[in-house]
Chains A and B, each alone.
Chain A
């Protein structure tokens, strides 16, 4: 004999969002760096920045940071309007 149970799992509504298109080259692009305040995130991203700038002619670097890791990143429209590429440090 069977019984009917209610599925306790939530319904998760999703919109599919494509990832952003990529440039063919990083030359003359504005690089955004996003760190989450966790230890060494700033050092890691700075090393990434240096490595990218060694090989590419980056026009500008804009860095933003979360002062508290447990909050959303402080993205703004201005940040996304200006940046062509972004590297963000996530997690611990």
Chain B
């Protein structure tokens, strides 16, 4: 096989080849970008790389492996892939070791961890053996238990590794079960974590908690629920991101190819506001009436739905539908499970006017449709080529839904008072949300403490 990619993506191809156990996989590089180029330019690139392709297809495989295991391609457009060399590496312990001898100073530890690309850019809590033992002793988890393998490198997420990254994020022992449940959820095939981690799309792993434990764990569901200020939101989401970096192996510009990324890649965790929810809770809807659940989904960041003037549920849902149906999000052509976070005031009006949660979904299915007239010709050609069943034959007067079935909308209630809701597009139909209960080390759902 001869693999061809543009020079900008050579490092991704090389990293994937190494992950597949083939560091010498021959990869031919052509100039980036190919997308958007005229046909003659693309044909010219094929002509210029032909000799290398022929070489790769006909040369002795052992010679090829030796040669290509050393090959490095620097793209013409320089981008900063390595962490800024502000800090030197102050010690030389092997990265392969499970434990590291490090200076006592947390400043020094932070310099080293940042330099090695083991952080999200913010200071971390050093994951000392002492802190780990304290966390495991208080929660009863066994450090060698394997919870899952995190893509793209399929790094083994043992309880020890999960706890280490949770400590770095600032988690308390009480948060460990939530992070473990999140790992259990996000390593399920349905989420397609490999794609979320390596795409150019800005998606992150959204962590949504539904159930009575969220108050005990200080996971905010009220004012500023999607923002800063509460420990649970900050540290749980952050622990997940550190695991995706350190155990999944996705670093910006190498395996993590997000063009822009988003602030949600620092932390994106919030809880359901059950007290203001006029319908059944999300955890009940998912079949876990007696548990607190964690749901993960591959999503963009949130987009506000400002409706101060709508007097009826239908009017508010019209605005929500308009916020969802844009030609620039992936659900427009890949369908999926876009999330709607209704603010309590909007939810109250919608419920008052007789909408059930299912009724909300059905309304959005009918009205959240992207007009074909809003899609560029180039995108329409691309959508039609790859998804003819959805786009072939459509004209400017037509529109397309964002989901295949109304039930695919995820509808939750969160936030404080104010005439706002939020829509959160997802990465598309090739990633599916996963919901699991939060359990203890014995596998039993954790229940809130009775006062």
Contact A88 B3 (CB under 8 A): yes
Which residues of chain A come closer than 8 Å to B57, judged between CB atoms?
Answer: 22-23, 26, 85, 87
Q: Flag if B5 contacts A6 (CB, 8 Å).
A: no
Which residues 19-75 in A have Cβ within 8 Å of B in the complex? 19-26, 37-45, 47-48, 51-52, 65, 67-68, 70-71
CA distance A12 to B19 in the complex (A): 8
Closest to A37 in B: B386
Partner of B13, one of A11, A44, A91: A91
The stretch from B37-45, B271-279, B308-316 touching chain A is B37-45
Chain B residue, CB-CB nearest to A47: B46
Asked if residues B13 and A90 are in contact (CB atoms below 8 Å), the reply is: yes
Contacting residue for B101 out of A4, A10, A86, A91, CB 8 A: A4
**Cα distance A23–B1 when bound, in Å?**
11
Known: A71-B195, A87-B1, A92-B8. A6 touches B34 (CB 8 A): no
B132 CB within 8 Å of chain A = yes
Given contacts A22-B64, A68-B428, whether A6 and B129 have CB atoms under 8 Å apart is yes
Number of interface residues of B (CB under 8 A): 96
Counting chain B CB atoms within 10 Å of each CB, the highest count among A6, A24, A67, A89 belongs to A6
B2 touches A85 (CB 8 A): yes
A71–B429 Cα gap in the complex (Å)? 11
Alpha-carbon distance A21/B419, docked complex (angstroms): 65
On whether the beta carbons of A10 and B161 are closer than 8 Å, the reply is: yes
Q: Can you name the residue of chain B whose Cβ is closest to the Cβ of A24?
A: B58
A90–B2 touching, CB < 8 Å: no
**How far is B39's CA from A86's CA once the two chains are assembled, in angstroms?**
22
Q: Which residues of B contact A10 (CB under 8 A)?
A: 150, 153, 155-157, 161, 246-249
- Knowing A8-B127, A10-B249, A39-B36, say if A2 contacts B387 (CB, 8 Å): no
A7-B164 contact in complex given A12-B249, A19-B61, A86-B1, C-beta closer than 8 Å = yes
Across the two chains, which residue of chain A brings its CB closest to B94?
Answer: A7
A71 to chain B, nearest CB (A): 5
- How many Å from the CB of B101 to the closest CB on chain A? 5
Q: How far is the CA of A52 from the CA of B430 in the complex (A)?
A: 34
Interface residues of B (CB under 8 A from A): 1-6, 8-9, 12-13, 19-22, 24-27, 30, 32-37, 39, 42-43, 45-47, 49-50, 53-54, 56-61, 64-65, 95, 97-104, 109, 113, 118, 126-130, 132, 150, 153-157, 160-161, 163-165, 167-168, 192, 195, 199-201, 242, 246-249, 257, 334, 378, 382, 385-387, 427-431
28 pairs from A and B in contact (CB 8 Å cutoff)? A5-B126, A6-B132, A7-B97, A7-B98, A8-B164, A8-B247, A10-B153, A10-B155, A11-B161, A16-B22, A19-B61, A22-B56, A22-B64, A25-B58, A26-B57, A40-B36, A42-B385, A43-B42, A43-B43, A47-B42, A48-B50, A51-B46, A70-B427, A85-B2, A87-B57, A91-B8, A92-B8, A92-B200
